[in-house]
């Protein structure tokens, strides 16, 4: 059984994001980059399934510039068997990524695709769902538990009312939530081994996919700074301010 795990290179979650002075986007010059945390959870889950003996191969995939090879090497250090980079300098939007992944699904024929529910840079939460629609595959989003059998996968997912359990026939698409697992620490020996693993590079045109952006970002701005709070002398004053100033009651 083969699992495909898309991973994205994003600004590290510990870094304070800065907006460019001209408002055209986020400043990533000399900023630490790393694998999207939700994708790291997806890689960990795929590797655990392989360690259980129900999966034979884990393939990590990334779409972006040449620097994404670092992210793929990290995935391979966690335990992925090989990597695929779709190299492009175009700004990739969720639909374009989903189309590229659809082309790779057709090429590799994996039984399961596991990816993070969203990237922490754009918070789009769209790629997994779009991929499932394009490939006409069953999907389970926000997975907090995954049990894989020969031809079916059972997924527990968090919903507003509690937990929901879905059983999907393979092949299928799963997106991961935070509580699915805790990714392992990547050791130096595994980092060295990952450098020798196979990494194939394709261009979008090799896969027959047009990745031109369909959406245009007009402006990026920081959220407004939060104002200082005030103290009130009594409950009556508090109620008056909530009613007449804040207008929440």
Write out the residue range of the structural domain in which residue 166 sits.
2-224
Residue linked to tokens 């059983």: 167
245 falls in which pLDDT band (50, 70, 90)? confident
Task: Provide the pLDDT for residue 144.
Answer: 94
What does the pLDDT look like over 66-91, one tens digit per residue? Answer: 999 999 999 999 999 999 999 999 98
Higher pLDDT, 58 or 31: 58
State residue 208's pLDDT score: 93
Note whether residue 196 is domain-resident.
Answer: yes
Q: Quick one: pLDDT at residue 229?
A: 84
How many domains in the chain? Answer: 1
Is 100 a member of any domain? yes
For residue 227, pLDDT over 90 is answered with no
Is the pLDDT confidence value at 159 over 90? no
- pLDDT computed for residue 26 by the predictor: 85
Q: How confident is the model at residue 2 (pLDDT cuts 50, 70, 90)?
A: very high
Q: Tell me, yes or no, whether 235 lies in a domain.
A: no
196: pLDDT strictly greater than 90: yes
pLDDT (0 to 100) of residue 174? 96
Instruction: State residue 217's pLDDT score.
Output: 86
Q: What sign does the dihedral 67-131-202-216 (CA atoms) show?
A: negative
Residue 232 lies in a domain: no
Question: Is 112 domain-assigned?
Answer: yes
Query: What is the pLDDT, as a whole number, of residue 94?
Result: 94
pLDDT at 86: 96
- pLDDT for residue 165: 95
Q: From 46, 45, 100, 44, select the one nearest 68 (Cα to Cα).
A: 100
Question: Residue 118 has what pLDDT?
Answer: 94
Q: For residue 188, what is the domain's CATH number?
A: 3.40.50.620
Whether the pLDDT of residue 48 is over 90: the answer is yes
Mean pLDDT of 107-113: 96
pLDDT band at 93 (very low <50, low <70, confident <90, very high): very high
What is the 3 state secondary structure string of the chain? CEEEEECCEEECCCCCCCECCCCCCECCCCCCEEECHHHHHHHHHHHHHHHCCCCCEEEEEEEECCCHHHHHHHHHHHCCCEEEEEECCCCCCHHHHHHHHHHHHHHHCCCEEEEECCCCCCCCCCHHHHHHHHHCCCEEEEEEEEEECCCEEEEEEEECCEEEEEEEECCEEEEECHHHCCCCCCCHHHHHHHCCCCEEEECHHHHCCCCCCCCCCCCCCCCCCCCCCCCCCCHHHHHHHHHHCCCCC
pLDDT greater than 90 at residue 27: no
In a domain, 247, yes or no: no
Mean pLDDT across the chain: 93
Using alpha carbons only, how large is the chain's radius of gyration in Å?
Answer: 21
What is the average pLDDT across 110-127?
A: 93
Specify if 134 maps to a domain. yes
Examine residue 241 and state whether it is found in any structural domain, yes or no.
no
């Amino acid at each position: 059984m083969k699992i495909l795990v898309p991973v994205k290179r994003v600004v590290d979650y510990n870094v304070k994001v800065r907006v460019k002075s001209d408002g055209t986007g986020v400043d990533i010059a000399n900023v630490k980059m790393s694998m999207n945390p939700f994708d790291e959870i997806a890689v960990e889950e795929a590797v655990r399934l392989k360690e259980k003996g129900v999966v034979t191969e884990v393939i990590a995939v990334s779409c972006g510039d040449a620097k994404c090879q670092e992210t793929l090497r990290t995935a391979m250090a966690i335990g992925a068997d090989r990597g695929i980079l779709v190299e492009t300098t175009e700004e990739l939007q969720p639909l374009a990524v989903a189309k590229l992944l659809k082309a790779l699904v057709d090429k590799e024929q994996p039984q399961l695709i596991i990816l993070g529910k969203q990237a922490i840079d754009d918070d789009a939460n769209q790629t997994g769902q779009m991929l499932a629609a394009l490939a006409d595959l069953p999907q389970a989003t926000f997975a907090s538990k995954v049990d894989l059998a020969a031809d079916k996968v059972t997924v527990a997912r968090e919903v507003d009312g509690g937990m929901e359990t879905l059983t999907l026939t393979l092949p299928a698409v799963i997106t991961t939530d935070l509580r699915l697992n805790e990714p392992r620490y990547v050791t130096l020996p595994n980092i060295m081994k990952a450098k020798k693993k196979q990494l194939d590079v394709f261009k979008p045109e090799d896969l027959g996919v047009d990745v031109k952006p369909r959406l245009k970002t007009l402006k990026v701005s920081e959220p407004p700074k939060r104002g200082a709070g005030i103290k009130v002398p009594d409950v009556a004053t508090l109620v008056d301010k909530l009613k007449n100033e804040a207008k929440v009651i």
